[in-house]
Chains A and B, each alone.
Chain A
Amino acid sequence: MTPDLWIILTGILAASACGLIGCFLVLRQNAMLGDAISHAVLPGLVIAFLVTSSRNVLPMVIGAGVMGIATAYLSELLSRTGRLYKDAALGIVFTLLFAIGVILVSIFTGQIDLDQECVLYGEIAYTPWDTFTLNGQSIGPRAVWILGGAFLINLIFIGLFYKQLKISSFDPRMAKAIGVSERVWHYALMTVVSLTVVAAFESVGAILVVAMLIIPGATAYLLTSRLIVMLALSVLVGIICAVGGFFAASYFDASIAGFMAVVGGIVFVLAAFGAKLARRFARA
């Protein structure tokens, strides 16, 4: 496969993995979680770097994963005190963690050079050259394997627990009544989201992940009111963003991740107008 095809495949896998799980974030009105996590992982990265004093990916991913889950859990805990709104709780937690991260960076700035280039924030354009090797044989880019794995895990998670996720997202009270704990599924979902986000950051960069967590799900939400259709549509929108973003980026010679988000925006606007027109026709 050519590098271009690998990049497109990486983009598709990242967009689909994030899109699938993002549907639930959109439904639960928790769409800003991805953005919050993307900032809150910074102290986790710095601490992992300081502890292992290396740029190994694994400790970094663990550090970031811990911070990602901490963001989701802490903000939930804060808003469950009933003393402030959910969005404010999320904002307070992630800005504080980010501030701590920046301070850690500046304290240890003599020892590390994390401040200029955040190691964990990947760039999709470079993924084809970072390959896995098996028995001395290259078996394709690492990012494809990681994101493919994340996509599969998300697919299996949603497939296995479809009913619980659906009912606890749409009707928490009903869920409680039939013995599905809203809280347990919320935390399970948050954990899966955090891990997906961190794994994907490492391969393709933050903006792409945050965008693909929200835009495909929201676009699909505009077009259907059935969850299963919404999930399928979100994958489709993710594919359109990945392919469209790649070609737009190579045409204009600019960032692929940035263009994927922009294409997502265009698709969203089209879908919004489409949905409006469809409703008008349906009424007429």
Chain B
Amino acid sequence: MAENLCCLPKPQRNLSRNHNRMDFWELTVRFFSLADANVRQVIAGSILLGGAAGALGCFAYLQRRSLLGDALAHAALPGVGLAFLIVGQKEFVPLLLGATATAWLGALSINAIDRYTKIKLDAALGIVLTVFFGLGIVILTHIQKSGSGSQAGLGSFIFGQAAAMSRQDVVALAVVTVCMLSVVTIGYRHFKLVSFDTGFAFAVGLPVGRLQFILTTMIVLAVTVGLQAVGVVLMAAMLITPAAAARQWTDRLPRMLMLASIFGMLAGLFGSYISFLKPSLPTGPWIVIVVSGIFAVSILFSPRRGVLIRILRHYQHRGKITRDHLVKSLYRVGMERENWYAYYPVSEIAHMWSFTPTELRSGLSQLTAQGFLEREVDMYRLTQNGVSAGARVTRLHRLWEVYLTRYLELPGDHVHRDAEDMEHIITPEMEEQLSQMLDHPVFDPHLQPIPYPTEQKGV
């Protein structure tokens, strides 16, 4: 039974046999020209599967049920065993029906546990997964021991045969895809609401239970049909990864559905292409690797949510904070000494604020380049632009302090920290509104003067 426990696909039957002597380009042309009937079948199947699973996965993802596919794929095992016990031989349609029946039962159980007990969804998924899969193993071992021999390879129904996409698979996939497309199109608005805000959907009187049931049924169908082709784990991936990747690029559901389907299809296409190039490489895992690659690119580089852009923005903001503090400190020292344009050595500037050496160096050179500072050997001084920049940061800081004391009625000694943050964030428009709202105050709560641009001109 060991092979069943680790869910390994059976040895792969491969797309490309006996073409070791063909070179890369010949193979590529042969693959994409669709001349080979077997190739056509695999491409059609992988693309259909990728597209359908990608789109359905979006709804699962948004409801935080991404692992539903994984649980249901395991829950199909007892159905396969039972169907075999009843029919007595390995036939595609009965096995598929059996798998669908128990996977569907599993889905109902998950919903029931989630709804009627205090068990959370993750544990509900886990319980159904293990209990159903355990039952499946019980049935398969029972069959094996009473075995007639014809049961061999029964497990491969759910562990997948990768590159062996049969005609039946493709037809079944096509049927599921068409069903899914029409259901999703007809009930689009309702599904959207249920996925984003179940509570609201309830409140406006949508049949939430029934809608979720339809979605779950679609996922069950996709899973059981896809299982046979790519296996349990890889089927789970097709439901999770394209949707998670698509989510990185957009906040709108229609676009997310489109992108997830496209990612799924691309993964299907290139997964089968890679396994066509190298005879020893199975299709299913390559599909997963391609789609994981798409995901990695998405989460790193997506222009709005990407991890890299966020790191970049973080550093930009840090840089701005340092520059603000530099001009502000120089401005304040200038105000105390009533000399705005004196030169200060770097060592002295370093003590004006808790700058790190790197911050100090890059901040000073950036400000010089931007024309806010002038440099003389190892000394810096503010330019006229620098003085007004320093005045602006000081002004924003003090305006915000006035705002907090006046409108939030905070005591004067509680507002400094908050103003330290806000002075870097307030935009010119906000500044305008603030000073109008506060009627251009002259002093901050600590009775320090608020410098306005007009005053600066005289200096």
Do A and B pair up? The answer is yes
Where the two chains meet, the residues of A that have a C-beta atom closer than 8 Å to any C-beta of B are 26, 29-32, 34-35, 38-39, 42, 78, 81, 83-85, 87-92, 94-96, 98-100, 102-103, 105-107, 109, 115-118, 121, 123, 205-207, 210-211, 213-215, 217-218, 221-222, 249, 252-255, 257-262, 264-265, 268, 272, 275-276
Residues of chain A with a CB closer than 8 A to B295's CB: 92
Chain B facing A: main interface SS? helix
In the complex, are the beta carbons of B299 and A218 less than 8 A apart?
no
Which residue on A lies nearest to B306, using beta carbons?
Answer: A83
- A260–B141 CA distance with the chains assembled, in angstroms: 14
Which residue on B lies nearest to A89, using beta carbons?
Answer: B244
Q: Is B150 an interface residue (CB 8 A)?
A: no
Residues of chain A with a CB closer than 8 A to B100's CB: none
Which residue on A lies nearest to B160, using beta carbons?
Answer: A102
Residues of chain A with a CB closer than 8 A to B6's CB: 38-39, 42, 118, 121, 206
In the complex, are the beta carbons of A117 and B3 less than 8 A apart?
yes
- A142–B70 CA distance with the chains assembled, in angstroms: 32
Chain A facing B: main interface SS? helix
In the complex, are the beta carbons of B234 and A253 less than 8 A apart?
no
Residues of chain B with a CB closer than 8 A to A85's CB: 61, 64, 66
Question: What's the interface size class on B, roughly?
Answer: 35 or more
Top-10 shortest CB links A-B: A261-B134, A265-B131, A95-B237, A258-B137, A211-B130, A99-B285, A99-B288, A214-B126, A258-B138, A91-B240
- A265–B124 CA distance with the chains assembled, in angstroms: 11
Residues of chain B with a CB closer than 8 A to A261's CB: 130-131, 133-135, 137
| Residue in B9, B70, B123 whose CB lies within 8 Å of A214 | B123
- Per-residue A-contact encoding for B223-237, CB less than 8 Å = 1, 0 else: 000000000011011
Which residue on B lies nearest to A95, using beta carbons?
Answer: B237
Distance in angstroms from B138 CB to nearest chain A CB is 4
Can you report 6 residue pairs joining A to B where beta carbons are below 8 Å apart? A84-B248, A95-B234, A96-B241, A99-B289, A215-B127, A253-B146
- A85–B68 CA distance with the chains assembled, in angstroms: 14
- A32–B129 CA distance with the chains assembled, in angstroms: 9
Which residue on A lies nearest to B64, using beta carbons?
Answer: A85
Q: Is B157 an interface residue (CB 8 A)?
A: no
In the complex, are the beta carbons of B237 and A258 less than 8 A apart?
no
Assuming the contacts A96-B288, A121-B6, A214-B130, asked whether A106 and B12 have C-beta atoms less than 8 A apart, the reply is yes
- A257–B135 CA distance with the chains assembled, in angstroms: 10
Q: Is B396 an interface residue (CB 8 A)?
A: no
Residues of chain B with a CB closer than 8 A to A276's CB: 116-117
| Residue in B126, B244, B281 whose CB lies within 8 Å of A103 | B281
| Residue in A90, A96, A258 whose CB lies within 8 Å of B141 | A258
Assuming the contacts A87-B64, A258-B138, A272-B113, asked whether A34 and B2 have C-beta atoms less than 8 A apart, the reply is no
